[in-house]
Structure 1
């Protein structure tokens, strides 16, 4: 069946299309009786507004795009919840897309969202993204853009971040404070800014506490959907390369849990032989044995703040007001658990 139109409702009631439109929108210059008749008939005929026509008329689609590296991920699932909670309050629909850490797919998804005439875009960059033309093109088309978590410093837009360098410093210092002398780092890929900053925080903590930085103690993990296996592989390689390591700061909890599993398989005791600190406070970190010390990363709050920034920019655009880019930095904290509690 073809969608019911305003014209069909108007013809059945013997009134103008304009009157029908006004009645459905509760305009005060339409009588209560006419409004009631129009709304009853619209419901009977299952009338639905033409969303494309509404978009053209109001110049807003009431939809936003969200691009994240992974949907099935504890941190990003919390971010999604935070975004949707705020978006629903403002009547926005969220189109969620997963880049799978692919730059090419991320570019295609930006183009798709533009074709859908979304009012704004939220994005956490893919690990493989090193060229930002697609994002700058989006900004050039005056589509509000807010980055969160994995961001590009050189792209001029609003951002929601944590201080990854400070958090990594805190994690590494904790290992030093409990007596670790030979501390390794399982880092993320070379490209993402948060991976870079966590590595720099780790390195600075060593330097500040007179521990010689040894690049051979740094192992690169893609931190993708295979993170658990990468943790196991890196732990295995570490045991072959450096039997004297007594502490590890690991870029994400899932990599850390994979590493812990492999160490335990080899009879390595945690934390007696090797103390471990992860990152993000994934829910599994509190239920594994031993429980994992980690940096708490506020995913839900990050999602809320990202949408708030985007909403303000979309509102200013609609009102032809200037848009001021803002960076919101959220606090993190160290959660001490059994993986670093040495006797």
Structure 2
């Protein structure tokens, strides 16, 4: 069936197209009776507004693009909820794409979103991304981009972040405060900025407390889709390499849960033999035995703030005002549970 037009509604009611258009937009210069009649007739005829025509007039698609590394990851799922909650309030739809930590796929998804004429883009970079031309090309077309979580410091756009160094320092300091002397780190891949910063926070906490940094105590976890298995495998390898380790700061909760599972299997007591702090405060961190001490990363708040900043920039561009990139830093906190000892 062909879409119903304003003209057909007007002919059905024997009124002008302009009156129909105004009635559907609830203009006060059209009587309440006429507005009600027009809406009822439009519903009966199954009228749907031509969003493409509206977009051409307003030069807005009322859609934004969202690119994340993983949809199923607990942290990113909470980010998505925060973004969608705010987008709905402002009448925006969100196109969600998953890069699978692939630079090449991320580039294609940027091209796809541009071809769909989205108004702006929110992105958390893939682990593989080290060249940012696909990002700057979008910005050169006056299309606002806001990065969150995994960002590029050299790209001059707005960003919503946490202080990963400070959070990692806090996690490592907690292990030290509870008596740990030989602390390992299961870190993320070498490239992403947040992985780098968490490693640097760990290292600084050791040095500030006169504990030696030993590179052999740092284990890399670079397969996000196999993080549970990597946690198990690195825990097994750690026991083989360093039987004297008494604490571990782990880059994500899923890796930490894998490590706890392996230690439980091998009869290693947590926290009596080894204390563990994770990162993210995934819901499973309070369900594993023992429950996992972790850094609470405010995913929902990050999503809300990322959309709010993008919306501000969209409004500024619409009003032909200059956009000034902004860094929004959210607070983190340490959640103390049973995988670490009480303070000594």
Q: TM-score, normalised by structure 2?
A: 0.96
1:33 deviation in Å?
A: 4.4
Q: Which runs of 5+ in 1 are unaligned?
A: none
Structure 1 Cα separation of the partners of residues 180 and 28 of structure 2? 73
1:200 deviation in Å?
A: 0.3
Structure 1 Cα separation of the partners of residues 271 and 36 of structure 2? 71
Structure 2 residue aligned with 1:173: 173
Structure 1 residue aligned with 2:26: 26
Structure 2 Cα separation of the partners of residues 295 and 248 of structure 1? 13
Alignment check: 8 A CA contact 1:172 1:202 kept: yes
Alignment check: 8 A CA contact 1:167 1:201 kept: yes
Structure 2 Cα separation of the partners of residues 172 and 31 of structure 1? 68
For residue 289 of structure 1, give the secondary structure of its aligned residue in structure 2.
coil
Q: After alignment, is 242-251 or 14-23 more displaced? A: 14-23
Structure 2 residue aligned with 1:297: 297
* Aligned structure 1 segments of 4 or more residues deviating by more than 6 angstroms: none
| 1:255 counterpart = 2:255 | yes
Structure 2 residue aligned with 1:340: 340
1:132 deviation in Å?
A: 0.7
Structure 1 residue aligned with 2:92: 92
Alignment check: 8 A CA contact 1:223 1:255 kept: no
| 1:107 counterpart = 2:119 | no
Matches within 5 A, 1:32-181: 32-181=32-181
Q: After alignment, is 87-96 or 192-201 more displaced? A: 87-96
Structure 2 residue aligned with 1:284: 284
1:43 deviation in Å?
A: 1.2
Structure 2 Cα separation of the partners of residues 301 and 30 of structure 1? 42
* 1:34-65 Cα distance to aligned partner (Å, 9 max, x none): 43333222111110011111111111111111
For residue 225 of structure 2, give the secondary structure of its aligned residue in structure 1.
coil
For residue 185 of structure 1, give the secondary structure of its aligned residue in structure 2.
strand
* 1:279-299 Cα distance to aligned partner (Å, 9 max, x none): 011111112111111111111
1:220 deviation in Å?
A: 0.5
Q: TM-score, normalised by structure 1?
A: 0.96
* 1:133-155 Cα distance to aligned partner (Å, 9 max, x none): 11111111111111111111111
Q: After alignment, is 109-118 or 34-43 more displaced? A: 34-43
Matches within 5 A, 1:144-293: 144-222=144-222, 224-293=224-293
Q: After alignment, is 194-203 or 116-125 more displaced? A: 116-125
For residue 52 of structure 2, give the secondary structure of its aligned residue in structure 1.
helix
Structure 2 Cα separation of the partners of residues 36 and 174 of structure 1? 64
1:31 deviation in Å?
A: 4.0
Structure 1 residue aligned with 2:326: 326
Structure 1 Cα separation of the partners of residues 331 and 237 of structure 2? 34
For residue 329 of structure 1, give the secondary structure of its aligned residue in structure 2.
strand
Cα RMSD, aligned residues only: 1.4
Structure 2 Cα separation of the partners of residues 301 and 139 of structure 1? 25
